[in-house]
């Protein structure tokens, strides 16, 4: 079994401020949506995957953790006390319950299945209900690097072409960086998730290796340090940055924004196939 990225959860302190930033760097975002468990989001839909910009918008609705269960709201709330960033990686699935059993057989920690629904606004302003079944998983040594699979109930209502055109030419999530001093637990997580590296990979980097790839950037071990977005043309990304006054760094085949601007993690852009 191999999996591909569904989306990345980008936990931020201020959803409005973060949304404005992502629009400035060339992403089209969906209208704001509210979860029933205290979090709200806006999405950048790409080609078969998306970025979820997420904030704690109704803290009074956050569900506290119960034995055997996982609380999406409580996890992201607590994650934010240690800093903004890429809090969770998510894979596509058509059978979340089977994923849970597969994760368990591969030595990962699993939790109760979780179903929920929420309202979503279509491009014409109509509101519809979308729903999801989630299978969460983790490695105890990496409490700030959670993962789950996401089974959509009505993908026809979720994915909309009008939301998928971006001024920066973004197409897909091509790489996620997992920072680890001890690669053992990180390898356990990576192997258990079984991502297809052709469609998008998890790269395990030591803090030193991460700093070598992104000079001047430090990232704590045990967290996802950032991600790479494949784009049609890097020049379109440069134009977005320059026209909107966003500072970035250049490399021969990419450009990137540091975590001090990008809400706790590196965002790299490259012309990946």
Q: Judge if 113 and 237 occupy the same domain.
A: no
Question: CB of 218 within 8 A of CB of 258?
Answer: no
In whole angstroms, what separates CA 71 from the centre of its chain?
Answer: 17
Residues 252 and 122 reside in one and the same domain: no
* 105, 238: one domain: no
* CATH number, residue 195: 3.10.180.10
Distance, in Å, from the CA atom of 259 to the CA atom of 257, rounded to the nearest integer, reads 7
User: Same domain, yes or no, for 227 and 156?
Assistant: no
pLDDT of 144 strictly over 70: yes
Determine phi and psi for 234, rounding to 5 degrees: -60, -25
**For 62, which DSSP code?**
P
In terms of residue numbers, what domain contains 74? Answer: 5-163
Domain boundary among 131, 163, 195: 163
Question: In total, how many domains does the chain have?
Answer: 2
Res. 252 pLDDT band, cuts 50 70 90: confident
Q: Which among 118, 109, 107, 112 has a CA at the least distance from the CA of 96?
A: 112
What pLDDT band is residue 273 in, cutting at 50, 70 and 90? Answer: low
Note whether 92 and 216 are same-domain residues: no
The pTM of the whole model exceeds 0.95: yes
Residue 238 near residue 169, CB atoms below 8 Å: no
Residues 45 and 151 in one domain: yes
Q: Same structural domain for residues 128 and 188?
A: no
Same domain? For 17 and 150 the reply is yes
Query: pLDDT per residue over 88-102, tens digit each?
Result: 999 999 999 999 999
Domain end residue (candidates: 163, 190, 207): 163
Distance in angstroms (rounded) separating the CA atoms of residues 197 and 243: 34
CA dist., res. 49 & res. 8, Å (int): 9
- Mean pLDDT across 17-39: 97
pLDDT one-digit tens code per residue, 225-245: 999 999 999 999 999 999 999
Residues 142 and 260 both lie in one domain: no
Q: 163, 192, 209: which is the final residue of a domain? A: 163
Report the C-alpha gap between 199 and 196 in whole angstroms: 6
Q: Rounded to whole angstroms, how far apart are CA atoms 109 and 136?
A: 8
Among 131, 147, 156, 172, CA closest to 45:
172
Six-digit token pair at 256?
């990137």
Q: Which of the four pLDDT bands, split at 50, 70 and 90, describes residue 46?
A: very high
For residues 100 and 136, state if they share a domain. yes
* Residues 177 and 260 grouped into a single domain: yes
Q: Does 179 share its domain with 216?
A: yes
């Amino acid at each position: 079994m191999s999996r591909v990225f569904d989306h990345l959860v980008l936990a931020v302190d201020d959803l409005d401020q973060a949304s404005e930033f992502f629009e400035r760097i060339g992403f089209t975002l969906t209208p704001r949506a509210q979860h029933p468990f205290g979090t709200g989001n806006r999405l950048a839909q790409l080609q078969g995957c998306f970025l979820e910009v997420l904030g704690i918008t109704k803290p009074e609705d956050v569900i506290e953790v119960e034995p055997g269960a996982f609380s999406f709201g409580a996890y992201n709330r607590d994650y934010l006390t240690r800093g903004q960033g890429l809090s969770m990686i998510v894979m596509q699935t058509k059978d979340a319950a089977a994923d849970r059993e597969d994760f368990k057989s591969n030595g990962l920690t699993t939790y109760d299945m979780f179903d929920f629904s929420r309202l979503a606004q279509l491009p014409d302003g109509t509101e519809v209900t979308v729903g999801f079944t989630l299978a969460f998983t983790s490695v105890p040594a990496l409490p700030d690097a959670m993962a789950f699979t996401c089974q959509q109930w009505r993908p026809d209502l979720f994915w909309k072409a009008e939301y998928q055109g971006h001024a920066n030419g973004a197409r897909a999530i091509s790489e996620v960086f997992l920072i680890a001093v001890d690669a053992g637990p990180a390898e356990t997580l990576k192997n258990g998730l079984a991502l297809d590296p052709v469609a998008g990979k998890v790269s395990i980097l030591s803090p030193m290796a991460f700093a070598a790839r992104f000079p001047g950037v430090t990232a704590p071990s045990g967290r996802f340090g950032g991600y790479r977005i494949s784009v049609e043309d890097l020049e379109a990304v440069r134009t977005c940055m320059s026209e909107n006054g966003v500072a970035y760094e250049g490399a021969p085949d990419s450009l990137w924004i540091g975590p001090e601007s990008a809400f706790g993690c590196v965002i790299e852009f490259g012309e990946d196939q």
